[in-house]
Amino acid sequence: MHRGTGDQMPDPLIEAKQGEGNAPAYRGTAYVVIERFPIDDYGRRIPQFQFEVMRPVGALNGQIRSVALIPGSTEYGLLPRPVKLTVRPGEDVMVNRHMLSAASDIEASLDELQALCPRLEAVALVVTWFGDDLRAGHCRLRPMVTQNDPEGLSETWTVSGLARDEVPVVSMSEGGPAYGGTPSDASVIEAIKLIRARGLKVTLYPFVMMDVPAENMLPNPYGGASQPAYPWRGRITCDPAPGATGSADKAAAARMQVEAFAGQARLSDFAATDEEVRFTGDADDWGYRRFLLHYAKLAEAAGGVDGFLIGSELRGLTVLRDGENRFPFVEVLAELAGEVRGVLGQETLITYGADWSEYFGHQPQDGSGDVFFHLDPLWAHEAVDAVGIDNYMPLSDWRDADHAGGNPDGFLGPYDAAGLRRMITSGEGYDWFYADAGDRPERRRTPITDGAHGKPWVYRYKDIASWWSNPHFDRIGGVEAADPTAWVPKSKPVIFTEIGCAAVDKGPNQPNVFPDPKSSENAAPYFSSGGMSDLAQRRFLAAHYGHWSSEDAAVNPVSNLYGGRMVDPGSICVWAWDARPFPAFPLHGDVWSDGRNWSCGHWLNGRLSGVAVDDLINAILADFGLSAADTDGAEGSLAGYVVADPGTARAALEPVCDLFGLAVREDAGRLVFSTETGAGATVEPAALVVEEDAPVIERVRDPDSALPTGVVVVIARVSAPPSRISVGTIRPRVSRPFDNS
């Protein structure tokens, strides 16, 4: 197999047949040469061969250097060797191999990932235990499986020294398991070694999923007769929850419930070998400490990891206060950070993945005026190397009516590249917010201010730079403390432990929501049609990489205490790449029930192998040795594009322009591609001839034989002259009958 590189040599078999020096290298062309094919096995006929050619196109693929590898719930999906299930004598099923291109799913998936992200450096390996209650004092975190019977499996399953018949089975939903099971300890160890053997760094990411089935009878700490189905882990809290009548928040009961959630496990309770970690403490202790320390010891057994998360998005717990305005779960996390450091050593990066609405502080909505930088004891802790943020901040506020003009943020479309990048440090969460749910539909925006204190960044979750660059002062009752918190400005880098956007219509409006019909968290973004949009995801990520790679976002690395950027683009971890290879996932719905969520979910699989129209245009121009065009206004995406025959750049681009309705014009010697509705040059109305009783805009379409392009001519009479009229160029659609009118 020849991959089409620019320096590939002639194939030795072809050269042997043609003679030395007589065989071309076909540089730039991927091709396969087959020798001694057993043609007799196919009736002495050459059978059909299928090959998938993947080429990373556009800047985004080259910018991604770290991804989160899911699913965290897969009993054998992380094993690099195949696992067989004997259904009955003579009938075997491969549990973790659904593509023939590699020995196992994870091998095939990583092959594709590295092919599509040529600068990939790191993988965050997600591994899951399951919580069973939103009440912190009652919640148990345990490994689970999809079925207890080990009969017929070629590989044993053990986690924390327990076999599959010693752990609970995940709940059922719509006739099947609601989740996959916890990865076996052996599979986690081998996955770590596999990823490192490929030259990549590994961050181990212990992850909590909530197995709270529908129609449960569990008391709801937020109020109600039962708890919501399969909720977000960030909703684990005290009982009653903050704001509820008789809440345990701000009382000794909150600390007691957090201590029950954490449990009593200590490092001395774990015994590790090269293949597993056993727990020797109280068998009924299913607290957070046991869960986290188990994976710290497992990472050690695997030979170490490059990074380790001590938790993520547990905001319902981190904001809980005891009777002395202290935050007991933050204390638990800080203690665990120190213990994990003792296990994994100084070379492992340790942090907590805070929710984007959590990392910067806690401002309880109780009218008290309190402001707490509640995570500062954790961010300042000597064992924590960076401020970790799961960054799903909104970058747009687009509605379909905005297509007629008048978007208040200056967007030309829902995925306006310049607009999205601008909104990383402006807009919602920086300049303004919606005070309640009724304000959003009406666009009643409330400016973010800070009265006499003059520090609006305290309330701006998007203003990472100001939060990071300034000392922090808690406020009790609105009165600022005399002394700052333990946070030292510019002392540690910020890393995005997760960043992503669902591939759904208007995804940047609300990047944190996801489709999952079984879950109470199932949602589409604000004002979304719920339809699939690969472009939404791509433009969101491109905006972030463009911003954080710029010099404007460097925040003077020389002055930082550690000598680096505030946010290094290499530390942006994109959510998410699946260990189940595309297209087996999502097509095998009989194997994986969550495949139906792929079309509008956060998955990168099946999308990084595609191409956005703007990137495709410039890739074609580059292949023909032509300068890049301005394509910011060209919207759309494709799964792939084949140029089957030799030709010109124009011939290759015309079908793309026709399919996506693109107009092309020249501006200062540069080609400009954009959608017809947004294309054009500005012409003063006074320079136009107006005709009474004529249409406002008329499109005149010429055949290919007459002119290279058609022209939009404005010949309208208007009662009041508009401030500007846009004029653009339209490609003739040669596939349709020519209309003389």
Same domain membership, residue 108 and residue 209: yes
Write down which residue in 566, 600, 634 finishes a domain: 600
Same domain membership, residue 128 and residue 34: no
Closest to 734 measured CA to CA, from 699, 698, 697, 708: 708
Q: 236 with 227: CB under 8 angstroms? A: no
Q: 601 with 576: CB under 8 angstroms? A: no
Half-sphere exposure of 329 (CA within 13 A, CB side): 30
pLDDT band for position 699 (50/70/90)?
Answer: low
Closest to 355 measured CA to CA, from 318, 319, 391, 307: 391
Separation between Cα atoms, residue 540 and residue 536, nearest integer Å: 6
Separation between Cα atoms, residue 154 and residue 174, nearest integer Å: 28
Same domain membership, residue 227 and residue 196: yes
CA distances, 733 to each of 494, 620, 631, 708, 737 (Å) = 50, 20, 20, 12, 8
pLDDT band for position 703 (50/70/90)?
Answer: low
Write down which residue in 600, 621, 643 finishes a domain: 600
Q: 305 with 204: CB under 8 angstroms? A: yes
pLDDT reading at 321 higher than 50: yes
pLDDT reading at 706 higher than 70: no
* pLDDT tens, position by position, 494-532: 999 999 999 999 999 999 999 999 999 999 999 999 999
Residue 643 vs residue 290, higher pLDDT: 290
* pLDDT tens, position by position, 329-385: 999 999 999 999 999 999 999 999 999 999 999 999 999 999 999 999 999 999 999
Same domain membership, residue 323 and residue 193: yes
Q: 657 with 664: CB under 8 angstroms? A: yes
For residues 529-536, average pLDDT: 96
Separation between Cα atoms, residue 543 and residue 536, nearest integer Å: 11
pLDDT reading at 277 higher than 70: yes
Which pLDDT score, from 0 to 100, does residue 734 have? 37
Q: What's the domain count of the chain?
A: 3
Q: 634 with 624: CB under 8 angstroms? A: no
Which pLDDT score, from 0 to 100, does residue 553 have? 80
pLDDT reading at 27 higher than 70: yes
Same domain membership, residue 74 and residue 47: no
- Partners of residue 362 on adjacent β-strands: 372
* Residue 297, token pair as written in the block: 């010891």
Q: What's the CATH code of the domain at 529?
A: 3.20.20.80
Q: Where would I find the beta strands (DSSP E) of 579-695?
A: 611-612, 630-633, 637-638, 662-667, 670-675, 681-683
Q: 44 with 602: CB under 8 angstroms? A: no
Closest to 262 measured CA to CA, from 337, 210, 342, 328: 328
Half-sphere exposure of 305 (CA within 13 A, CB side): 32
User: CA Rg, the chain, in Å?
Assistant: 29
Q: Where would I find the beta strands (DSSP E) of 4-83?
A: 30-31, 66-70
Same domain membership, residue 668 and residue 587: no
pLDDT reading at 705 higher than 70: no
Residues 6+ apart with CB under 8 A from 7: 27
For residues 49-53, average pLDDT: 85
Which pLDDT score, from 0 to 100, does residue 704 have? 58
* pLDDT tens, position by position, 238-275: 999 999 999 999 999 999 999 999 999 999 999 988 88
Q: From the CB of residue 133, how many other CB atoms can be counted at a distance below 10 Å? A: 20
Which pLDDT score, from 0 to 100, does residue 683 have? 54
Whether residue 426 is contained in a domain is answered as: no
pLDDT band for position 189 (50/70/90)?
Answer: very high
Task: Name the one residue in this structure whose structure tokens are 């589409």.
Answer: 524
pLDDT band for position 719 (50/70/90)?
Answer: very low
Whether residue 196 is contained in a domain is answered as: yes
pLDDT reading at 700 higher than 70: no
Which pLDDT score, from 0 to 100, does residue 711 have? 43
Same domain membership, residue 676 and residue 538: no
Task: Name the one residue in this structure whose structure tokens are 């660059």.
Answer: 469
Exposed/middle/buried for 138, CB within 10 Å: 0-12, 13-18, 19+?
middle
Which pLDDT score, from 0 to 100, does residue 554 have? 75
Whether residue 404 is contained in a domain is answered as: no
Which pLDDT score, from 0 to 100, does residue 405 have? 85
- ∠ CA 464-466-469, rounded to 5°: 105
Q: 167 with 279: CB under 8 angstroms? A: no
Which pLDDT score, from 0 to 100, does residue 558 have? 66
pLDDT band for position 563 (50/70/90)?
Answer: confident
Residues 6+ apart with CB under 8 A from 472: 361, 373, 376, 484, 485, 487
Distance between alpha carbon 369 and the CA centroid of its chain, in Å? Answer: 35
Q: From the CB of residue 72, how many other CB atoms can be counted at a distance below 10 Å? A: 24
Same domain membership, residue 565 and residue 697: no
Task: Name the one residue in this structure whose structure tokens are 């699946």.
Answer: 578
Same domain membership, residue 489 and residue 632: no
Task: Region of 610 please: left (phi>0), alpha (psi -120 to 50) or beta.
Answer: beta
Which pLDDT score, from 0 to 100, does residue 54 have? 85
Which pLDDT score, from 0 to 100, does residue 457 have? 98
The whole-chain average pLDDT of the chain stands at 91
* pLDDT tens, position by position, 78-126: 999 999 999 898 899 999 999 988 999 999 999 999 999 999 999 999 9
pLDDT reading at 710 higher than 60: no
Write down which residue in 570, 600, 630 finishes a domain: 600
* pLDDT tens, position by position, 660-690: 999 999 999 999 999 866 544 455 556 566 6
Name which of 13-22, 464-473, 693-702 the model is least confident about. Answer: 693-702
Which pLDDT score, from 0 to 100, does residue 52 have? 81
Q: 259 with 322: CB under 8 angstroms? A: no
pLDDT reading at 716 higher than 90: no
Which pLDDT score, from 0 to 100, does residue 586 have? 97
Which pLDDT score, from 0 to 100, does residue 53 have? 84
Same domain membership, residue 77 and residue 45: no
3-class SS of residue 130: strand
Exposed/middle/buried for 580, CB within 10 Å: 0-12, 13-18, 19+?
buried
* pLDDT tens, position by position, 422-460: 999 999 999 999 999 999 999 999 999 999 999 999 999
Whether residue 432 is contained in a domain is answered as: no
Whether residue 456 is contained in a domain is answered as: no
Q: What number of residues does the chain have?
A: 741
Task: Name the one residue in this structure whose structure tokens are 């005891």.
Answer: 322
* pLDDT tens, position by position, 616-642: 999 999 999 999 999 989 999 999 898
Separation between Cα atoms, residue 573 and residue 557, nearest integer Å: 21
Q: 265 with 286: CB under 8 angstroms? A: no
Q: Could you tell me whether strands 637-638 and 611-612 are parallel, antiparallel, or unpaired per DSSP bridges?
A: antiparallel
Same domain membership, residue 710 and residue 561: no
Whether residue 357 is contained in a domain is answered as: yes
Closest to 617 measured CA to CA, from 563, 581, 651, 653: 653
Closest to 5 measured CA to CA, from 55, 61, 63: 55
* pLDDT tens, position by position, 400-413: 999 988 899 999 99
Whether residue 270 is contained in a domain is answered as: yes
Q: Which domain holds residue 18?
A: 1-51
DSSP conformation class of 603: -
Whether residue 278 is contained in a domain is answered as: yes
Separation between Cα atoms, residue 519 and residue 597, nearest integer Å: 12
Same domain membership, residue 638 and residue 547: no
